Amino acid sequence: MKTTLQPLRGIRVLSLALNLPGPAAVMRLAAMGARCTKFEPLGSAGGSADPMAQYRPHAYQTMHQGVRIVAADLKQASGQKKLHALMAKTDVLITSFRPSALKKLGMDPAQLGKAYPTLIQVSVIGSPPPHAEDPGHDLTYMAECGLVDGVALPASLFADMGGSLMVCETVLKALMWRMQKKGKGQHHQVALSDAAAYLGLPRTWGLTTADGSVDRKS
C-alpha cells in the first residue's frame, strides 16, 4: 500500500496487536509514513507467534512490510525491559488484549499514562464497556447487526477491517489533540462491535433490506 501523502512521517508506532485488525491498521499507518514496530510473543523455531503468520503467511507478510518485528516474552523481566525501552520512544501504542489481560501484563492504561505522559494508547477490544471482557468474533459482531445472511460466510471480515480503519481514525484524531494540548497523551478504546454496527447502518435504516429503497426494483 503506497501513498504520496505521508503526514505521519516521524511518528513512532508500537503495536502488540495480533491477527487482523491491529496489523491491518499498522499497515495503513506505515503507508502514511509512520515508523512502525511490532512486538510479538516468542514463536517456535524462530518464526512469528502471530496466528496470521501460521494460517495465512502471505497476508501476514503484506501487512508487515516495512514493519520492524521485535519478539520477547512479556511474562519475563527481560521482555518487560525490552517493551518499556521501546515505549519510552513511542508516540502511539496499539494493543488488542482484554482490559484484564493488559493489567496482568503490567500494561494498565492508567499506569502507562503516568509513566509515559505523552503516549497515545489505542486498545482494540471486542465490545465497549461494560462488555469489554466478553469474548467475541468478527462473525458474531456482524450477525448482531444483520450482516450475516444464512450460513454463507460474508465476503470479508467487515468488523475487523472496519475496526482497523477506526484505529487509524483514532490515531489521527489523538495526534491532532495531542498537538493542541502540547504533548498530552490519552487512552482510547476501539470496539469491533462498534465498527460492525457502523458498517451495518444502511441495513439498520432499511436501505438494504429486501423491501428497502436501495434494493427495490423500479
The answer to pTM > 0.95 is: no
DSSP secondary structure string for all residues of the chain: ---S--TTTT-EEEE---TTHHHHHHHHHHHTT-EEEEEEPBPGGG-B--HHHHH-HHHHHHHTTT-EEEE--TTSHHHHHHHHHHHTT-SEEEE-S-HHHHHHTT--HHHHHHHSTT-EEEEEESS-TTSTTS---HHHHHHHTT---TTSPPSS-HHHHHHHHHHHHHHHHHHHHHHHTTS--EEEEEEHHHHHHHHTHHHHTTSSSTTSTTT---
Q: What integer pLDDT is reported at residue 146 of this predicted model?
A: 87
Q: What integer pLDDT is reported at residue 61 of this predicted model?
A: 97
Instruction: Please list the rounded mean pLDDT of every run of 10 residues in the chain (218 residues).
Output: 79 97 98 97 84 95 97 93 96 97 94 96 97 93 89 89 98 96 93 96 89 63
